[in-house]
Amino acid sequence: MGGLSLVAGTALRRLLPFALLVALWWLLVWALGVPERLMPSPPEVAQRLYLGLVADGDMWTHVGATLRATLLGFAIGSLLAVAVGSLLAMSRTLELLCYPAVVLIQSVPKVAIAPLVLLWMGFELRSTATLVALICFFPVFVGTFVGVRAAPPVLLDLFRTLNAGRLRTFLHCNLPNAAGSILAGLQVGWGFALVGCVVMEFITGTGGTGFLIDNSANALDTRTAVAAMVLLGVLGYLGGSLLHLARRRLIFWEGDRHDG
Amino acid sequence: MTDSAYGAELPPWARVVLPVVGLALLVALWQLLAVAVVADSTLLPTPLQMASNLWNWIAGGGFLQHLLATLAGTLGGLAIGASLGFAAGVLVGEVKALDRSVYPMVLALQAMPVVAIAPLVIVWFGIGLASKVALVAIGTFFVMFVHTVSGMHAAAAELIDMCRAFGGTRWRIVFAVKVRLALNYVFSGLEVCAALSFILCVVGEFIAADNGLGYYIKASSSNIDAAGMFAAVAVLAALASLLALVVRVAHRRVVFWQFRKP
């Protein structure tokens, strides 16, 4: 009984900001008399969402396309980033050798090379996933590198005293120590990944929520455009929450120390 | 000496020589890819082709127009968005009722990637400078706002108490203590904004524009002209790095106490 009301209370506290946001949006549209072709009101968007997700179901293909490309690119980019970040962190020679490449990757605005990626990879899933992988690489790489290097010197000395090799030291000391930092990088990376996906969908114009937003805004169908944005926000929120939960479960010993 | 945990001790010259070798390897790899693997300069130009193409573009006409359009959209939007975000952040961070209601709302809003509103902003402001400025301003506003509010939260209670004990009024405390201590967060926010501003401006130019570097990249893409895209991306990377550097130097100058060696 007490537990149930606790759960309900937490859910309410989570949902309250969203409810306030919708109320404020409704109030502004109503009070300023904004026409629908500029900004639809919440009930209009809710109606479009009902049509797109339940009655007609025409939005599922777009959400599916976005989710597929983002997840694929995110998985590839993050795995590469953890691997490369660990390698460079464990070897000073490699770190110095790859330094120019890292600077290059960091300084180029990844979104700007979207048309180039499209030219190389062709339409649809391949180019979108590639851009997503490129864009979420860097935050995960930095998280991994910093986390692996941040292993406590005392522990490293202990491992050396026990005659542990470099691989074993990495697997049992550096990597577990880096877990929190890697997951923090993944949280940032997930937000970036959605940005990459949406931008590529703007450009390719073949499907996905980004395409839906651009295409319906061009037709002054802002109802559909805003509904698609809401769905994108839900994807962003769900991904972020899942990663947050994973962080709390996996790295239970750190608690909520890094949150904020 | 835990340094040796990450490989053998390196001699001092390695810190200079290894990155240079790495750079040479990178260029060589690119050259190899361009000549032997792709072998099509419309898809992947060699480093030399790219450099000469960039030079011709800058020396010839047409470059300045795109550069100025992107700079105006980015810097104009950044100035408006960041200053409004800072002002709103100070106000919301100080007034408890606003802090309780508005701050969680903005955090909730941040789940949506801000580039997604680009097509809507173009519907609102039309094609041209106004929509670019508006898009950059909206994106940077929220980032700056969140950083400023969390900075206002971080002010040390002892300092506030001390200021109050010396008879400081509410807004005196805000500007003499809280805002000053929030500056470190504000400048971190500005660093994020600087990176974000170019991205937003370029995305706006991808979708609908008649000039700017993003427009040029997309036009080159339609002409299957990778050299043109490389040139514009290189210019963008240089601009973004320069802006990031300026912000970082300002950060160190203004918030000098955070960077003082212990």
pLDDT at position B261 over 70: no
pLDDT at position A253 over 80: no
Average pLDDT over residues B187-192: 93
CA distance B213 to B72: 12
Q: What is the pLDDT of residue A226?
A: 94
Q: What is the pLDDT of residue A2?
A: 60
Alpha helices in A91-112 (DSSP H): 92-107
Look at A27-31, A74-78, B2-6, B128-132 and tell me which has the smallest mean pLDDT.
Answer: B2-6
Which of A247, A32, A233, A26 lies closest to B106, judged by CA? A233
Residue in A with minimal Cα distance to B125: A38
A132 token code pair: 């997503």
Look at A246-260, B45-59, B121-135, B145-159 and tell me which has the smallest mean pLDDT.
Answer: A246-260
- Full DSSP string of A11-47: HHHHHHHHHHHHHHHHHHHHHHT--TTT---HHHHHH
Instruction: Place B6 in a pLDDT band, splitting at 50, 70 and 90.
Output: confident
Q: Calculate the average pLDDT of chain A.
A: 89
Which residues does chain A have within 8 Å of residue B232's beta carbon, measured at their own beta carbons?
112
Q: Is B18 on the interface with A (CB under 8 A)?
A: yes
pLDDT at position B2 over 50: no
Q: What is the pLDDT of residue A255?
A: 57
Instruction: Place A132 in a pLDDT band, splitting at 50, 70 and 90.
Output: very high
pLDDT at position B1 over 80: no
Task: For an interface test with A, give the residue of B13, B21, B120 to mutate (most A CBs within 10 A).
Answer: B120
Q: Is B105 on the interface with A (CB under 8 A)?
A: yes
pLDDT at position B184 over 70: yes
Q: Is A236 on the interface with B (CB under 8 A)?
A: yes
The answer for B 44-73 residues in CB contact with A (under 8 A) is 44
- SS3 of residue B148 by DSSP: helix
DSSP H or E stretch at residue B161: helix B157-165
Q: What is the pLDDT of residue A165?
A: 86
Look at A71-75, B8-12, B241-245 and tell me which has the smallest mean pLDDT.
Answer: B8-12
DSSP H or E stretch at residue A75: helix A60-90
Q: What is the pLDDT of residue A258?
A: 47
Q: What is the pLDDT of residue B4?
A: 57
Computed on alpha carbons and rounded to an integer, the radius of gyration of chain B in Å comes to: 23
pLDDT tens digits, one per residue of A45-93:
999 999 888 888 889 999 999 999 999 999 999 999 999 999 999 998 8
Q: What is the pLDDT of residue A42?
A: 92
CA distance A212 to A204: 12
CA distance A17 to A20: 5
Q: What is the pLDDT of residue A260?
A: 36
pLDDT at position A1 over 60: no
Proportion of chain A above pLDDT 70, given as a percent: 96
Please answer yes or no on whether B229 and A115 come within 8 Å at the CB atom: yes
Selected from 1.10.10.10, 3.30.750.24, 1.10.3470.10, 1.10.3720.10, the CATH number assigned to the domain covering B41-258 reads 1.10.3720.10
Q: What is the pLDDT of residue A256?
A: 52
- Full DSSP string of A116-130: HHHHHH-STHHHHHH
Q: Is the CA virtual torsion B101, B103, B104, B108 positive or negative?
A: positive
Q: Which residue has the higher pLDDT, B122 or B9?
A: B122
Please answer yes or no on whether A236 and B113 come within 8 Å at the CB atom: yes
pLDDT at position A257 over 60: no
The answer to whether residues B181 and B166 touch, using CB atoms and an 8 Å cutoff, is no
Residue in A with minimal Cα distance to B245: A107
A25 token code pair: 């949006």
Residue A184 belongs to domain with CATH number: 1.10.3720.10
CA distance A205 to B218: 13
Average pLDDT over residues B193-222: 91
Average pLDDT over residues A20-42: 89
Q: Which residue has the higher pLDDT, B244 or A14?
A: B244
pTM of the model: 0.88
pLDDT at position A126 over 80: yes
Average pLDDT over residues A91-98: 90
Q: Which domain holds residue A240?
A: 45-254
pLDDT at position A14 over 70: yes
Please answer yes or no on whether A111 and B213 come within 8 Å at the CB atom: no
Task: For an interface test with A, give the residue of B112, B149, B192 to mutate (most A CBs within 10 A).
Answer: B112
Please answer yes or no on whether A97 and B116 come within 8 Å at the CB atom: no
Q: Which residue has the higher pLDDT, A191 or A254?
A: A191
pLDDT tens digits, one per residue of A184-199:
999 999 999 999 999 9
Average pLDDT over residues A212-239: 92
Q: Where do we find the tokens 């209009």?
A: A44
Instruction: Place B146 in a pLDDT band, splitting at 50, 70 and 90.
Output: very high
The answer to whether residue A14 is domain-embedded is no
Q: What is the pLDDT of residue A248?
A: 86
- In chain A, how many domains are there? 1
A 10 A CB-CB count for A46 gives 14
